[in-house]
Amino acid sequence: MAAGKSLRVLIGTVGGQGGGVLSDWLVHGLINAGWDAVSIGLLGISQRGGTVTYYCEAAPDRSRRRTHSMFAMPGDVNLLIGQELLELGRLMGGGYASSDCVIVGNTARTYATLEKMPAEEGIFDSKQIFTAAHDLAPDRHYLCNAQAVVVEQGLSALSSNAFLLGAAVAAAVEGVDDAPFVEAIKASEINVKANIAAFQLGYRLVKEGRFPAQSGPEAARPDASRRAARLSAAEAATVERLLAQRRDSAELAQFVRPAVENLIDYMDEAHAAHYLELLDRLAGLPGVDIATLKAFARHGALWLAYEDIPRVAQLKTRPERYLQVLREHGIKPRHGVEVTDFLVPDAEQIVGMLPPWMGRIVAGVGGMLMRDFDKRSFPLRLGSTTVSGYWSLRTLAAFRGMRRRSSRYAHEMDLFKRWYDAIGAAHARSPVLGCLVAEAGRVVKGYGRVRDQALDDLWGFLDEGVLILERIQRGGGDVGAVGRAALKILASESGTRVRCLAALQKAEAEMGDVPPMLHAA
């Protein structure tokens, strides 16, 4: 960007990421350098409920009085900064970039609500964002995982904002060195040492042509070693013993090993052995194909490791979790850190971790004391780095050993058996139907109301959808394609039972003169 040219900056971020601080640093740094600069923020919902956008206009000659715009105009912004990759994509998709725009972005993802709602395949394909950045600014885009870069340098992940600012100043603000922005960071009195170091790192990497540019989405990191590291030596030996006599194909084994490791970590050897027994029973069905076995191996393992209070407490007290907190915030192990965990269990979750007889007593007494006991939640705030908080969580985690005797376990196993038996029954009529029923298990995720809706979706597919598919198959239709399309609807989000059945009825009607009828939910 030519020296002396005015600057129009649009910053896209997520609530809670510190976009306001970054905007203040930018404006005050430009003012320190003698520029005329103003900014405005359009605030969304905090944390990840909505986008937050900041717009800044600045000109190098403060002596001239100007009227600045209060909002960005499409095609007029010459510096785009994205603190989160999807937010950067929103700005580029809005057409704000000018022909000489510089694009600086953080490739780390904080998933949007709409991405997390579907049961599967809800994550946005970020390849499109990288392609757009390259097309809009072929030689002027700087994208990298800012958190990872600063953490590798021993800095806090929170200082990634300062890193992005340093890169943006070096790339887009000609005629101004780093000193005015360093002064702005000092004046803010926010983690000054780390933020200055991160700012200068970003500034230096761009100026020296060593910016760690990322050309595409990061490949998913395999978590096999991390998962195995959670197991004790005895548990790891148990995994090897359970798998030693198996002759699973490589295609199936990629699901079986992680499932066994996770189920032993979740509960015990017997739980994992039961899973393998069920898998082998399916494998013994005449004409069963690998797709059915893979579907059960994957979705069955996830169901058998349903999330409950003991599991949450177990994960929150793992040593590696605290090490991750230290690493992400650039804190040395010798330094103290306080971690506060917020849990909001509801009455159903609390009763579910108790034996059935005790759960009935607690539910009865609770109902007498509180009319809405079954709808109540009980917020907990535990300092998990304090002695009392840590051992409170460890006590909850110890209920893992009682899980098999809990009312929630009995209920989940009844539901699980209903799905498992339906796989065998459908397979007896048609291997394709059996495979579709096994695939339907993928919709059972989440907890609370979302899980209840997902189960209702599943039962709708098993009780009504499979009958429609059977009729379509008898009529010569492509039952596999129709069934997969219906499951895609079912997996898009919880509560889609009616839409799924309507799609199946429509497919059936298109084969003849039967009018589509919408089943009641």
Contact 260, 276 (CB under 8 A): yes
Q: Is 436 exposed, middle or buried (0-12, 13-18, 19+ CB in 10 A)?
A: buried
SS3 content of the chain, % helix, strand, coil (to 5): 60, 10, 30
Give me the domains of the chain, ranges plus CATH numbers.
7-207 (3.40.920.10), 406-521 (no CATH)
Q: In the structure, what pLDDT confidence band is assigned to residue 519 with cuts at 50, 70 and 90?
A: very low
Q: Compute CA distances 481 → 190, 463, 499, 504, 507, whole Å.
A: 57, 19, 17, 11, 10
pLDDT at 40 over 90: no
415-437 pLDDT, tens digit per residue, is 999 999 999 999 999 999 999 99
Q: Give the residue among 290, 286, 270, 292 at the shortest CA–CA distance from 403.
A: 270
Which pLDDT band holds residue 227 (cuts at 50, 70, 90)? low
Residue 119 has pLDDT above 70, yes or no: no
How large a percentage of the chain has pLDDT more than 70?
89
Instruction: Tell me the Ramachandran region of residue 321: left when phi exceeds 0, alpha when psi lies from -120 to 50, beta otherwise.
Output: alpha
Half-sphere exposure of 87 (CA within 13 A, CB side): 30
For residue 214, pLDDT beyond 90 = no
Task: Lowest mean pLDDT of 15-19, 61-65, 309-313, 346-350, name the range.
Answer: 61-65
Question: ∠504-510-515 over CA atoms, to 5°?
Answer: 80
d(CA 422, CA 429): 11
- SS3 string of 360-416? HHHHHHHHHHCCCHHHCECCEEEECCCHHHHHHHHHHHHHHHHHHHCHHHHHHHHHH
Q: How confident is the model at residue 219 (pLDDT cuts 50, 70, 90)?
A: low
pLDDT of residue 44: 60
pLDDT of residue 376: 82
pLDDT of res. 118 = 62
Predicted pLDDT at 518: 46
The model's pLDDT over 361-413, given as tens digits with 9 standing for 90+, comes to 888 888 888 888 877 888 889 888 899 999 999 999 999 989 999 999 999 99
The model's pLDDT over 465-488, given as tens digits with 9 standing for 90+, comes to: 999 999 988 888 888 899 899 998
CA distances from 466 to 460, 475, 486 (A): 9, 14, 11
Give the tens place of pLDDT for each residue, 274-327. 999 999 999 999 999 999 999 999 999 999 999 999 999 999 998 888 887 887
The per-residue pLDDT for 362 is: 87
pTM of the model: 0.70
| CB contact set of 363 (below 8 Å; sequence gap of 6+) | 347, 351, 373, 374
Q: Which of 226-230, 234-238, 387-391 has the lowest mean pLDDT?
A: 226-230
| Residue 15: predicted pLDDT | 74
